[in-house]
Amino acid sequence: DGGITQSPKYLFRKEGQNVTLSCEQNLNHDAMYWYRQDPGQGLRLIYYSQIVNDFQKGDIAEGYSVSREKKESFPLTVTSAQKNPTAFYLCASSLGGGAYEQYFGPGTRLTVT
């Protein structure tokens, strides 16, 4: 089945530790995205990548980093510099080339204490 996978579903970390969230897609999509969702809020864009080896900051990139070494993979690292890391993180992908429909993974809930 084609789709987007995120792992793990739940992640717990101590404050001060970096943590990496996984996102993989087998849809052959060029573009990938990371969003953060807080209770009662819409989705806020962290980083996005339109093509392999290239990525841009979204609206709330501070305290996060990404890489795009492979088309299928777009991992997100939440660093210790992120002041409020506890949130629901969503990865998405789109075909690119002017196709705006984004398809989402199941999400990872990160809790930092």
Partner 1 sequence: GQQLNQSPQSMFIQEGEDVSMNCTSSSIFNTWLWYKQDPGEGPVLLIALYKAGELTSNGRLTAQFGITRKDSFLNISASIPSDVGIYFCAGQVKNSGGSNYKLTFGKGTLLTVNP
- The residue ranges that bind partner 1 (CB under 8 A) are 4, 6, 31, 33, 40-43, 45, 48, 50, 56, 58-59, 88, 90, 92, 94, 96, 98, 100-107, 109
To the nearest whole angstrom, how small is the minimum distance from the Cβ of residue 77 to partner 1? 20
Minimum distance from residue 48 beta carbon to partner 1 (Å): 7
Closest to partner 1 by CB, 14 vs 100, is 100
Closest contact distance (angstroms) between CB of 111 and partner 1 is 13
The bridge status of strand 108-112 relative to strand 4-7 is unpaired
Q: Which is nearer to partner 1, 13 or 44 (CB)?
A: 44
Strand runs labelled E in 1-113: 4-7, 10-13, 19-25, 31-37, 43-51, 54-57, 64-66, 76-78, 87-94, 103-104, 108-112
Residue placing its CB nearer to partner 1 in the complex, 85 or 105 = 105
